[in-house]
Amino acid sequence: MKFRKVEGGVTAAKGFWAAATASGIKKQAEKDLALIYSQVPAAAAGMFTQNRFQAAPVTISRKHLADGRAQAIIVNSGNANACTGEQGLKDAQKMTELTGKLLGLLPHDVLVASTGVIGQFLPMTKLERGIRAIVGQLKADGGPLAAEAILTTDLVSKITAYALEIGGQTVTVGGIAKGSGMIHPNMATMLAFITTDCAITPSLLQKALQYTVDRSYNLITVDGDTSTNDSVMVLANGMAGNPIIEEENEDYHRFLMLLQRVNSELAQKIVRDGEGATKFIEVTVKNAATELDAKKLARGILTSNLVKTAFFGEDANWGRIVAAMGQTEVELYPERVDIYLGNLPVMQAGQGLDFAEEEAKEILKQKDIRIIIDLHMGNAKVTAWGTDLSYEYVKINASYRS
């Protein structure tokens, strides 16, 4: 497929505008409020945190997505509006009501998301003032500004967009994301907002989103923690003019691959910006009995603190990889397993090899490190991404609220 990289993030697709402003939630007048708007009604889908403590905006957005339609997303950073009871729900609902009123939409056509410190009430006077201001700032090239406004401990914005011909028309999918810490499979303290001008039914949009989330955001980890606010939302307004996708035909699969491209890139950008991270670690488990087994093993390796600290110390201690695999619930044959650090074999048929430590050290000095596990059991293959664990991670999270 001939994917074409384009600029603009959530405003790359036809008919989408975005804006950002500083409402006063964050210190030092940082942007902390983002708005994404489709000029026409759109099909909508979402996936949310599996953490049992779910923030108020997650509850409200789930309700608003019940009809598979939405036209705007309002997002604040600096305050999670989580564990805030009935007041938090009222505040999240108020955000959608005010945004909708100013845009001429019904409240249930507006989705809402928040990220930041848990357990604090939103400063609604500041937020309402910010919402009134941001509606007037919507513009067709506002995607990069919106990407800035949703950040918390992130060091860089996460933004991407690609185009592909579908049904004889150019279809674009663009997205922005935030996330740096509390990152773990089943999503994390992350938000991602995707827009597309593809014409597709809400049910197939939801199906495509779930498929791609399972193969992107659910295959990343930084520190093994999930959050109360994790959300991925997508709006599809149909303005590309392609024949509406109503069944799982060739057009659907082309759209699926386009959406996968965007979500995979955003997911990897989150890992690369992991709190305190010095290494980007890619784990491929191949020739597994099932895809689920491969996922569990990759996650087990990437979430092991002993594995992560070994990579931070640039120590080729492959025994920690073996130990992490062995403590998962996956059934495997240890005597068949091969392990590679980059292209360097360190274990074959379940036994350690006499490899050059100097060569291993050179591999581990790199920012990007690849681990390959061959189980010799089947045909399933999964690639997942994670980070090392550094002193800086502890410093960042020891003083998150200060």
Q: Which residue has the tokens 């949703």?
A: 150
Q: State residue 66 phi and psi, 5-degree precision.
A: -60, -35
Rounded-to-10 torsion of CA 269, 303, 56, 178: -10
Strands (E), 51-138: 69-79, 110-117
Q: Which residues share a beta bridge with 382?
A: 285
Length of the chain: 402
Nearest to 153 by CA among 222, 101, 203: 222
- The Cα 72–Cα 372 span in angstroms is 42
Q: Strand order of the sheet with strand 344-348?
A: 220-221, 380-387, 280-288, 368-374, 338-341, 344-348, 351-352
Q: How buried is residue 395: exposed, middle or buried, by Cβ count under 10 Å (0-12/13-18/19+)? A: exposed
| Structure-block tokens of residue 125 | 């006077």
Active site residue 226: no
Asked if 372 and 339 count as a contact pair (C-beta separation under 8 A), the reply is: yes
- The Cα 347–Cα 51 span in angstroms is 37
CA distances from 131 to 32, 75, 127, 232, 352 (A): 11, 10, 6, 21, 60
Q: What is the DSSP letter of 242?
A: P
Q: Which of 84, 189, 212, 221 is catalytic?
A: 189
- The Cα 73–Cα 195 span in angstroms is 11
Q: Show Cβ contacts of residue 307 under 8 Å, excluding neighbours closer than 6 positions.
A: 301, 320, 321, 324
In sequence order, what DSSP letters do the residues of 135-175 get, joined into one string?
A: HTT-BTT-HHHHHHHT-SS-SS-EEEEEEEEETTEEEEEEE
Q: Is 332 helix (H, G, I), strand (E, B) or coil?
A: coil
What positions carry a catalytic annotation?
189
